[in-house]
Amino acid sequence: MSLLSARPFAIDIDPARTALIVIDMQRDFVEPGGFGASLGNDVTLLQAIIPTVGRLIAGFRAAGVTVIHTRECHVPDLSDCPPAKRNRGNPALRIGDAGPMGRILVAGEPGADIVPELAPIVGEIVIDKPGKGAFYATELGKILADRGIRQLVFAGVTTEVCVQTSMREANDRGFECVLATDATESYFPAFKQATLEMIAAQGGIVGWLATTDEIVSALHGS
Ligand code: C5J
């Protein structure tokens, strides 16, 4: 056990029962021509956290702690993409349409890949998820239970959509959740700020907040 300096209060972390969940650091959200850009967003905001997410992943790998990556994507026939999701909003390209990085948010297409700087290494788990939450319609819950994991550190994009949804799903399932505040980002800075505040409010009603340096230090017992 080591004490993580976090907000709203410090928490004991047991590296043997902890995993890092890196949410959706995919080209479709972070690079021009993908899903995020098709919705009119400025993707440079998200690109900026790649080095910090890389440092967090490196810290987990060096400590021998489980790293799990997720990708929001759909099977090629879109049978796992409800029309209510595909038809939402007025994007330049809808899920499944052909774009510069292949079909938008479709498994196996270049845009659905994790950015090369953060690519999973052999042995790391990659969860393809059709929803915003990482537990919905995936094996994540079973994988964590099989490994005896009870504490989760979250990073990735976007803070108020897939990261927050996944963290809330995990919180309801009894996991202690920490969000790496500088390793997550939103297209909307005010939404990121509001999400951080609502997670830690009311005594950490959804979980804890800590920086990448604080988390990596705790993992390494310093
Ligand atoms: C969104 C995500 N924003 N990964 N997905 O649609 O947050």
**Ligand 1 site-directed mutation target among 157, 163, 187, most atoms within 8 Å of CB:** 157
The fraction of the chain above a pLDDT of 90, given in percent, is 96
pLDDT (mean) for 56-83: 98
Cis preceding-peptide flag for 158 (omega within 30 of 0): yes
Q: Select from 132, 164, 168 the residue to mutate for testing ligand 1; criterion: most ligand atoms less than 8 Å from CB.
A: 132
pLDDT in tens, 112-158: 999 999 999 999 999 999 999 999 999 999 999 999 999 999 999 99
Nearest CA to ligand 1 atom 5: 162
Q: Which pLDDT does position 90 carry in this prediction?
A: 85
In the residue annotation, 162 being an active-site residue is answered as yes
Is the pTM value of this prediction over 0.95?
Answer: yes
85-118 confidence digits (pLDDT tens): 999 888 889 999 999 999 999 999 999 999 999 9
> E-strand spans in the chain?
2-4, 11-13, 18-23, 66-72, 98-99, 102-103, 125-129, 151-157, 176-185, 208-210
The secondary element (H helix, E strand) that includes residue 55 is helix 50-63
Given 73, 128, 129, 177, the catalytic residue: 129
